[in-house]
Amino acid sequence: MDVPNETMDTTPSHIRVLKDITFGSIAGMVSKVFEHPFDLTKVRLQSQVLDSSARFAGPIDCLTKTWKNEGVRGLYRGLPAPIAGAMVENASLFLSYREFQNIIRRITHQPESQRLPLHQLAIAAAGSGTITSFLLTPIELVKCKMQVQMLIPPSSSAHSLPGLPGPFTVLASAFRGAGFTGLWLGHTGTLIRETGGTAAWFVTKEYVASLLLARRTSSSQEDLTLRPWESALSGACAGAAFNLALFPADTVKSAMQTAEELRPELVTAGAPGQPYRYSPPSFFGTFAQMYKAQGIRGLYAGCGITVARSIPSSAIIFLIFDGLNKHFG
């Protein structure tokens, strides 16, 4: 099986680290190009939960209006940030997942060749998601802000910026408005999503893959490596599990990260030399506001299209990662 916990890995540790980073980055980059229009739709639906009137009736309406008003460029607005994010995210996830497994083996005195039970894999995956959340939050902040640029009301301070700012301008603007800690706006949501979601992601992938292998090898001595379709199928199941696990945390995060652009009443005049001052909402305060506004339905805004795109996207990730490991690992 082409996942980090199945068989003895004799690759030197520094080479293994390099391969995890490289293979994870490639898998993340390819999947993100495929899924970006759907992710943009999800963010735009999540960002309108607190609006008095909805801009979009649903995912199809959002995709249609974006295509009509902004064209292909609009569907891929903000793509560089999520590509960078996907490369960082997947490289970090696969690398730290393996390392947390190694730590668990050392603590529990288990040999390298022994497959960890699912509950220990869940702990390793949750640790991996926690680490990744710190790297991912600033990148997702830029991505979400860029994805709602065309929705910014004229009264917003963002209109003081010339044209449509790129990722570095957006990052600099966020820093000026809320300081260094402002770059991690929404981190609580990212932390909850990545910790719980990554545990669900890896454990589901491992479990489904083990069932497929057991079904195929129960009466034979075939090589215990996943076939491409098995990697894709187990990855697809993992993608659905990741997003269904803690989706409301992602909804609140997206609303927090786009509030500055879409709710200008949160922006106040700053001291001399500062164009404005942004007062970020809290995670639990935003959660309460969203629940009050639209209930459970609002907290799951964009969930359907997110799960629908995460199934093929996650299948692509594991298909590429497992395939690269099989041929070059």
The 3-state secondary structure of 32-99 reads HHHHHHHHHHHHHHHHCCCCCCCCCCCHHHHHHHHHHHHHHHHHCCCCHHHHHHHHHHHHHHHHHHHH
pTM for the whole structure = 0.83
Residue entry with tokens 């195929």: 216
pLDDT at position 112, please? 84
Residues 267-271: what's their mean pLDDT?
A: 51
> How does residue 326 score in pLDDT terms, banded at 50, 70 and 90?
confident
> How does residue 254 score in pLDDT terms, banded at 50, 70 and 90?
very high
Of 62, 57, 28, nearest to 42 by C-alpha is: 62
Provide the residue ranges of all domains of the chain, joining segments of one domain with +.
13-328
Residue 253 tokens read as 């995060």
Residues 229-250: what's their mean pLDDT?
A: 95
13-328 — its CATH code? 1.50.40.10
Under the phi-then-psi rule, with left for phi > 0, alpha for psi from -120 to 50, and beta for the rest, what region is 71?
left
Interval 109-166: pLDDT, tens: 999 888 899 999 999 999 999 999 999 999 999 989 888 887 776 555 554 445 567 7
Residue 277 tokens read as 């001052």
